[in-house]
Chain A
Amino acid sequence: MKKQRNEIPLKVVNLSKSYDEVKALKGLNFSLEQGSCVGLLGPNGAGKTTTCHLVSGLLKPDSGEILIHGMSFKNSRQEILENIGIQLQESRFYEKYTVKETFELFASFYRHHRNIAETLGELGLSEKKDKRLSALSGGEKQRVYLGCALIHDPQLLILDEPMTSLDPSSQKQTREFIASLKDQGKTILLCTHNMSEAKRLCDSILILDQGELICQGSCDELIEKISGRNILSFSLKKPEEYPKLKKLLEWLPEEFSPTQELGLNDGVEKAEELSRAMKNLSLEVSKLSLREASLEDVFFKATGRSFHANTKFR
Chain B
Amino acid sequence: MLTRSFAELTKCRLREFIREPSAAFFVFSMPILWMIILGLAFSSKHKEEISIGLIIPSVLKDSKSTQKLLKNLTREDHFKIIEASQTELRRKLRQNQISFILEVNEDFNLSYIYDATNPKSLLHKYEVDNLIQAEFGRRDSLATKDHPYTPSGSRYIDFLVPGLLALSLLTTSLFGTGMIIVVSRREKLLQRFLVTPMKPIEYFLSHITSRLIIVFFEVLAILLAAYFFFGFFVEGSLFSYFLVSFLGALCFTSLAILCSSRGKNSSAYSGFSNLIMILLMLLSGIWFSRGNFPIWLQNLSVFSPLSALVDALRKIALEGESLFQLTPEVSILLVYSLIFIGLSRKTFRWM
* A contact residues vs B (CB 8 Å cutoff): 56-58, 78, 81-82, 84, 86, 88, 90-94, 96-97, 101, 104-106, 108-111, 148
Contacts and interface: CB of A to CB of B under 8 A. Distances in A.
B8 A81 contact: no
Interface stretch (B13-21, B208-216, B317-325): B13-21
B94 interface: no
Given A91-B189, A94-B189, A108 B8 contact: yes
A188 to B, nearest CB: 16
B196 interface: yes
Contacts of A111: 197
B91 interface: no
Q: Is the interface of B mostly helix, strand, loop or mixed?
A: helix
20 contacts: A56-B195, A58-B195, A58-B351, A81-B196, A81-B197, A82-B197, A88-B191, A88-B192, A90-B188, A93-B189, A96-B15, A97-B12, A97-B15, A105-B8, A105-B9, A105-B12, A109-B193, A109-B196, A110-B196, A111-B197
B169 to A, nearest CB: 24
Nearest to A151: B196
Given A82-B197, A97-B15, A111-B197, 5 more contacts: A58-B351, A86-B192, A94-B189, A101-B15, A106-B196
Interface residues of B, number: 23
B83 interface: no
**7 residue pairs, one from A and one from B, having the closest CB atoms:** A108-B8, A109-B196, A91-B192, A92-B187, A91-B188, A96-B19, A109-B198
B5 interface: yes
Contacts of B7: 108
A92 B190 CA distance: 10
A91 B191 contact: yes
Nearest to B187: A92
Nearest to A113: B4
Interface in B1-38: 3-5, 7-9, 12, 15-16, 19-20
Nearest to B192: A91
A266 B270 CA distance: 65
Contact of A92 (B5, B19, B189, B197): B189
B266 to A, nearest CB: 14
A81 B187 contact: no
Contacts of B20: 96
A287 B5 CA distance: 64
Given A96-B20, A105-B8, A110 B189 contact: no
A92 B198 contact: no
Nearest to A89: B188
Nearest to A80: B197
B276 to A, nearest CB: 26
B5 A58 contact: no
B338 interface: no
A59 to B, nearest CB: 9
Contacts of B195: 56-58, 81, 84, 86, 88
Contacts of A56: 195
B194 interface: yes
A110 B187 CA distance: 22
Given A96-B16, A96-B19, A108-B8, A58 B187 contact: no
Interface in B157-203: 187-189, 191-198
